[in-house]
Amino acid sequence: MGLFAIATLVGVGTYIYAKSKNASNGTAAVAGVASGAGTAATAALVSALLPVLLIAGIIGIPAAGVYYYFNKDKQKALGPGGDY
């Protein structure tokens, strides 16, 4: 029920925002439905994968920090707009 309510609120908010930008009723409705459906799908996916994401974060964030610490002198970036 909570997921449905959140997705509905996001869809309504998108519809209202699109109407404030002078979009037609059809365009605003399609935008509202698309953003509401996308919110519902994303929230469902994240809630299903939350344990995996937590473990990946617990392992990945410190690992990235250690990698950066030991390789900070080796990092290179290209200059702006050069012929490389």
Cα separations (Å) of 38 from 16, 24, 47, 55, 80? 17, 21, 14, 25, 36
CA distances, 62 to each of 3, 51, 72, 79 (Å)? 32, 17, 15, 29
> Using CA atoms, how far apart are residues 60 and 76, in angstroms rounded to an integer?
22
Alpha helices in the chain (DSSP H): 2-20, 25-71
Tell me the pLDDT of the chain averaged across its residues.
90
How confident is the model at residue 82, as a pLDDT? 58
pLDDT tens, 44-61? 999 999 999 999 999 999
Confidence of residue 16 (pLDDT cuts 50, 70, 90): very high
Give yes or no for a contact between 11 and 33, defined as CB atoms under 8 angstroms apart. yes
Q: In this structure, what token pair is assigned to residue 14?
A: 């998108």
Range 31-40 average pLDDT: 96
Domain boundaries, the chain: 2-71
